[in-house]
Amino acid sequence: MAIIKKVRGKTPVVGDQCFLAETAVLTGDVSLGDECSIWFNAVVRGDVNTVRIGNRVNIQDNATVHCTYEKFGTTIGDNVSIGHNAIIHGCTLHDNTIVGMGAMVLDGAEIPSFSMVAAGALVPEGRVLESGYLYMGMPARKVKPLSKEQIDFFIKRTAKNYVKYSSWYK
């Protein structure tokens, strides 16, 4: 069973039909919507501020979701995929986004709907991206617009698939 820890009087709240891997950790002021999956060794820390997570969000192995004390909470919309080893810190990920493996999104940054942050990219503090594009690099730069087919294949399909994958573990 995952580690779910009360911190500063707040206990994580988990929605319906969520999968929490045995080595996942949720602490403090965290709320998960329905059909989310928090994978092996992923950490979601709401100890210093709030973490709000929508429906059908997958936080893959070794990813970290955290926030900044008295300054930046973290908000994640619906149908969001956060890749292995990614760091999401004090930022906003809107509905239907992907943050690739090993990417970092820092305090005050905002990833709009239908956007992709590529593996290994760094979205600096305070950066607000434009919807509908692939972003790559350190710092992340707008590389190309995403087609409807790419949005359907990468963003929507990944969120849907992770709901399916998590069902295999229940």
What's residue 170's pLDDT? 86
Confidence of residue 27 (pLDDT cuts 50, 70, 90): very high
Residue 58's pLDDT is 98
Chain segment 52-89, per-residue pLDDT in tens: 999 999 999 999 999 999 999 999 999 999 999 999 99
What percentage of residues in the chain have a pLDDT greater than 90?
Answer: 99
CB atoms closer than 10 angstroms to residue 23 = 16
Whole-number mean pLDDT of the chain?
98
Q: Average pLDDT for residues 85-104, to the nearest whole number?
A: 98
| DSSP letters for 110-165 | EE-TTEEEPTT-EE-TT-BPPTTEEEETTTTEEEEEPPHHHIIIIIIHHHHHHHHH
Q: What average pLDDT does the segment 145-166 reach?
A: 97
Residue ranges and CATH numbers for the domains of the chain are 3-167 (2.160.10.10)
d(C-alpha 121, C-alpha 110), whole Å: 14
pLDDT band at 123 (very low <50, low <70, confident <90, very high): very high
Asked whether residue 20 carries a pLDDT value surpassing 90, the answer given is yes
Whole-structure pTM value: 0.98
What's the pLDDT score for residue 1? 87
Phi, psi of 93 (to 5 degrees): -115, 115
For the residues 147-152, what does the mean pLDDT come to? 96
Residue 143 in 3-state DSSP?
Answer: strand
